[in-house]
Amino acid sequence: MSRVEQALRRANVTSADTYVIVEDEGAGPLPVTHPPLVEVREPARVDGDPADAGLAMRAGDAFEKLVVARGFDPLAVEQYRKLAAALHQMQLDHGTRSVMVTSALPGEGKTLTAANLAVTLSESFQRRVLLIDADLRRPSAHDIFRVSNESGLDDELDADGGTLQSLIDVSPRLTLLPGGSPNADPMSRLTSPRMQHVLDDAVTRFDWVVLDTPPVLSMPDASLLARMLDVIVFLVRAGKTPSRSIQRAMGVIDRTKIAGVVLNRVVEGTATYGYDTSR
């Protein structure tokens, strides 16, 4: 049993027939129906300009945590590629086109994970990807890519119909739909028929649609939004996420839709991965 598996068993979120540890040596090929668990190391801070990946953005603290930044931990890059490869296989086998990236609580790194997944699918797999910032209370994807948030998903949900108008191309194959102005109460909008129309339009124009969504326990209607998407990537922050919160979140969303669990912010060299069980 790997260290990651031990940590998640202590959090009571794994079972033999649901979660597979792709880092275990000798595991052999994974059944397509079994979702992978990906360990993402804490990326080291780097100096210098970003790698030339065709991304229309400037270097900055947020950019340095993207997989295309020069000096980004190659082991972390490989983990994102494993997750992207699993999704790619699901698309080939089942026509999967949309993925919801979420977590139990705020501050677990889901926005950066969604951004890195979108970049990996667009750069490593040469797919046309739309990243949607659906965390309307705290939109932040625009900060990572250093683009405007003047208009975005919130504005699209006010529109009467038609194609999406607030898209920003950040590379030849990666497009961002920012969140727009923060909205203190976005739940009814995110689970509305108009949101379904936005997603339907997106999947006809892009190979992949990746949504950065609000934390499950902050969103009363998380299960309704999840029904609009094909699969879910769920984040667990190593050493931080309370096991009770993970259990509660798993009770809200459809576990059969979970395509992968990302153990986030693992510090290299850490012997064990404990969990805060105080809440």
CATH number at residue 260: 3.40.50.300
> What would you report as the CA-atom Rg of the chain, rounded to the nearest whole angstrom?
18
Q: How far apart are CA 249 and CA 5, in angstroms?
A: 19
User: What is the band of 71 on the pLDDT scale with cuts at 50, 70, 90?
Assistant: low
Q: How far apart are CA 247 and CA 260, in angstroms?
A: 16
Give the Å distances, CA to CA, from 167 to 113, 121, 163, 243.
20, 18, 10, 37
Q: Is residue 48 part of a domain?
A: yes
CB 245 within 8 A of CB 104: yes
Domain count, the chain: 1
Q: Is residue 108 part of a domain?
A: yes
**How does pLDDT run across 82-137, given as a tens digit for each residue?**
899 999 999 999 999 999 999 999 988 899 999 999 999 999 999 999 999 999 98
Mean pLDDT of 60-75: 66
Q: Is residue 220 part of a domain?
A: yes
CB 129 within 8 A of CB 175: yes
pTM of the model: 0.80
CB atoms under 10 Å from CB of 30, counted, come to 15
What is the residue type of 133?
A: D
**How does pLDDT run across 254-278, given as a tens digit for each residue?**
888 888 888 877 655 543 444 444 4
Question: Degrees (nearest 5) of the Cα angle 100, 257, 62?
Answer: 25
Q: What are the tokens at 228?
A: 């609009």
| pLDDT for position 40 | 62
If you average pLDDT over every residue of the chain, what do you get? Answer: 76
**How does pLDDT run across 230-254, given as a tens digit for each residue?**
999 998 887 788 888 888 898 888 8
| pLDDT for position 240 | 82
Q: Which residue has the higher pLDDT, 204 or 7?
A: 204
Q: Is residue 273 part of a domain?
A: no
- Percent of the chain residues topping a pLDDT of 90: 39
CB 141 within 8 A of CB 114: yes
Mean pLDDT of 191-205: 93
For residue 241, the enclosing domain spans: 3-266
Residue 207 has pLDDT above 90, yes or no: yes
| pLDDT for position 122 | 93
Residue 20 has pLDDT above 50, yes or no: no
| pLDDT for position 75 | 77
Q: How far apart are CA 245 and CA 68, in angstroms?
A: 32
Q: Is residue 88 part of a domain?
A: yes
Q: Is residue 74 part of a domain?
A: yes
Instruction: Select the highest-mean-pLDDT range: 15-24, 46-55, 84-93, 158-167.
Output: 84-93
Q: Is residue 276 part of a domain?
A: no
Q: Is residue 271 part of a domain?
A: no
